Amino acid sequence: MTDPVPDPAPDDRRPNPMRGRVVSPGDTPASMGNIANIITVVRILLAPVFVWLMVLDGGELGVWRWVAGVLFILSITTDSVDGFLARRNNLVTDFGKLVDPIADKILVGAALVTLSVLGELWWWVTIVILVREFGITIFRFLMLRDHVIPAGFLGKLKTVVQSVAVSFALVPLWTVLGDWVLWVNWVLMGVALALTVVSGVQYLWDAWRVTRAARTAR
């Protein structure tokens, strides 16, 4: 007769990541399912809905195109909302740190690909932006696990300009205000493209400096 297996000690049990604070501020652990993370996940889930609305319009610039544009703007705006809630109520979690930047890239990437599919944006512009965004994200996770490189001013500015440029490209204001809006769209997209490339190079440079300094200090 074998001895019964003792129950694991309380300290050996893995904590349930869903337990904790959801909305209220405090110093106790926050739930992975807190309000800030919920907003982030909803932003990801809205990406296919946005693409469906764009395709549903069929490039006709009708009512569904306007709905898709407004949905994108509302979705991308929630990025500041979940970040504000997480910081104000101390709801920052590792899950949120991981998923929040990915959610933005999925939404912006979906918009860029859809615009290219519809023939409204050159594919090379979309490819350059996507390679930079997802390339830097993968690099950050694989190469810089021991060193956190915060986003610099150019990186934050890039995110804002990208959101504005894509929003202008999605909402067909030129059908109401005139073709001059198209020139504004292209200028904004050009600035967003330039900032995307330059901020990516800056991030790699900063990462190289931090890595070299860490190796020198050993």
Tally of CB atoms within 10 A around 71: 18
Q: Classify residue 206: in a domain, yes or no.
A: yes
Nearest alpha-carbon partner for 196 in 159, 150, 144 = 159
pLDDT tier, 1 (very low <50, low <70, confident <90, very high otherwise): very low
Q: Classify residue 19: in a domain, yes or no.
A: no
Contact 107, 167 (CB under 8 A): no
Number of domains in the chain: 1
Q: What is the domain-level CATH number for residue 81?
A: 1.20.120.1760
Q: Classify residue 52: in a domain, yes or no.
A: yes
Higher-confidence residue of 17 and 165: namely 165
Q: Classify residue 17: in a domain, yes or no.
A: no
Domain of residue 57 covers 31-217
Q: What average pLDDT does this structure show over 5-11?
A: 52
pLDDT one-digit tens code per residue, 129-144: 999 998 888 887 776 5
pLDDT one-digit tens code per residue, 22-54: 778 878 888 878 888 888 899 999 999 999 999
> What is the value of pTM for the model shown?
0.83
Q: Classify residue 58: in a domain, yes or no.
A: yes
- Greatest CA span in the chain, whole angstroms? 87
Q: Classify residue 63: in a domain, yes or no.
A: yes
List 21's β-bridge partners, or say none: 30
- Angle of helix 35-57 versus helix 94-117 axis, rounded to 10: 10
**Distance separating alpha carbons of residues 203 and 119, to the nearest angstrom:** 31
- Angle of helix 63-88 versus helix 35-57 axis, rounded to 10: 170
Give residues with Cβ within 8 angstroms of 90, minimum separation 6: 21, 25, 26, 27, 30
Nearest alpha-carbon partner for 79 in 58, 52, 55, 107 = 107
Nearest alpha-carbon partner for 34 in 77, 76, 97 = 97
Tally of CB atoms within 10 A around 204: 15
**Distance separating alpha carbons of residues 2 and 104, to the nearest angstrom:** 55
Q: Classify residue 15: in a domain, yes or no.
A: no
The residue written with tokens 């995110």 in the block is 159
> Residue 65: its pLDDT value, please?
94
> Residue 45: its pLDDT value, please?
93
Q: Classify residue 205: in a domain, yes or no.
A: yes
Rounded to the nearest 5 degrees, what angle is found at the Cα of 121, between the Cα atoms of 115 and 122? 130
